[in-house]
Structure 1
Amino acid sequence: MTKGELDPIYQCLASESLIQLLPKVPQKNSIKNLLTKILPVKNNDDIDRGLGLVVIARVARYNQITVCSYLLDIWCLGVKDTIPPRTVDRIKFKEFTEALFQPFPGSPQEVPLEVAQGMIFSACEYAENLGFQPHKDFEKSRSHIGEWDGAIRIECGRDGKPFYVSGPHDNPQKIMETLKKSRGEGNFDFMIGSAPFF
């Protein structure tokens, strides 16, 4: 392995909410088979669809897996949380990923690395255009993803505009001010507490 080369991929997993956002047209590349088996899109009113999880695991040494996870807010904030690289054995990896995906509806799906990259960087790019930086630990896990060629993207935002859903660790006032500055009053939707504002 040359200097700077990443370990081989062991497995990439994504939550169903992200799988449903993949392009519906078959592509002439390695993900053609995946894209022709897309799950049906659920009701866009489902608030859970705004959040998704991607896990990228690479083979470290014998029986060891290096794993990172990326919590994505694809409607607004981009990379909302990340777990920097940690090394586990194969049994612990299975337990670890099951625990990570437990809060998400449906079963995680295995995806090619290019798809995982497209999900993470699409969300990141969208949020940065709104004025939001990725989670503070993203830099520690950035190199684990590899280089994105930009070919595979998912559509971010909701109904063509940002939709901010407040989380327990957010600063809603600061986020709302950022959205007003980047998009202008009335050009985004939000839900603080339990009631949506459109």
Structure 2
Amino acid sequence: MPWASRHRGSPPADDEENAGGLVSVLVARRHRWERVSVCGFLADVYCLGVKNAFGPDIRTDVELSQLVPEYYAAYPAGWQDAPIGLAADIVFGAVEYARGLGFEPHADFVRAAAQLGAWDGPPAITFGRDGKPFYQSGPYDNPRKVIETLEHPVGPPPAFDYLVVGRA
């Protein structure tokens, strides 16, 4: 039972409110009676790929029911159920896109990715924003390094767009 969410709980879309391109994906699979195996991914579908991952963690059904609203607390509209194929397209597609730009997924991605199952690709969704990479800085990013990395495969702006937030 995967869940995917954006600011409005929808698949990736290009609009001002969702300019960061972040999608949270939580996947829970039945492990055994009253237990589930849970993995989570934070995917930047505009540029950086999987920025964070965790799991697999074994939780009770009660713990899962508490985790889901906590995991999506930053999303005003919460989450929505999504087919496992869409969850895999978001996560694996974001990794594939980001690797093409020179970015590797979070260190825990490989361990958590098995939860999604095999992926044949290509994804049913597109990545980037308006046909090109869009980088929006996060609190733990090194914006200069990200921009320099992007310039190698795609060239300097306007080949990609960026927004550096909260930096002096």
Q: Deviation digits for residues 118-153 of structure 1, max 9, x if unmatched?
A: 111111111111010001111111212110122642
* Pairwise CA distance, 1:71: 0.3
Q: Which blocks of at least 5 consecutive residues in structure 2 are unaligned? A: none
1:81 CA displacement = 0.4
Could you tell me how far apart the structure 2 residues matched to 1:113 and 1:20 are? 13
What is the rounded CA distance, in whole Å, between the counterparts of 2:82 and 2:103 in structure 1? 27
Q: 1:162 to 1:182 in 2, by over 3 A?
A: same
Determine whether 1:150 maps to 2:141: no
Matching residue within 72, 76, 80 for 1:109: 80
Equivalent pair of 1:52/1:104 in contact (CA under 8 Å): no
Q: 2:102 is matched by which residue type in structure 1?
A: G
Q: Deviations over 1:139-181 (max 9, x none)?
A: 1112121101226421111111111111111111111110011
Deviation per CA, 1:91-137, whole angstroms, max 9, x where unpaired? 11011111011102323111121111111111111111101000111
Conserved? CA contact 1:70–1:83, under 8 Å: yes
Structure 1 segment 1-198 matched on structure 2, within 5 A: 11-16=1-6, 19-21=10-12, 44-47=15-18, 50-150=21-121, 152-186=123-157, 187-193=159-165
Give the whole-Å Cα distance in 1 for the aligned partners of 2:144 and 2:122.
35
3-state DSSP class of the match of 1:46?
helix
Is the 2:6–2:22 Cα contact (8 Å) retained in structure 1?
no
The aligned counterpart of 1:30 is none
Aligned twin of 1:35: none
What's the Cα RMSD here? Answer: 1.9
Q: Tell me, what secondary structure is at the counterpart of 1:86?
A: strand
Cα distance in 1, alignment partners of residues 140 and 166 from structure 2: 15
Moved over 6 A (4+): none
**What CA deviation, in whole Å up to 9, does each residue of 1:172-191 have, x standing for no partner?**
11111100111101111111
* Larger Rg over CA atoms: 1
Letter in 1 for 2:42: L
CA distance in 2, matches of 1:87, 1:178: 37
The normalised TM-score by structure 2 is 0.90
Partners of 1:101 and 1:151 lie apart in 2 by 27
Deviates more, 1:186-195 or 1:162-171: 186-195
SS of 1:116's partner is helix
After TM superposition, give the deviation of residue 192 of structure 1 in Å: 0.8
TM-score norm. by structure 1 comes to 0.77
Aligned residues: 165
Gaps of 5+ in 1: 1-10, 22-40
Identity of aligned residues (%): 36
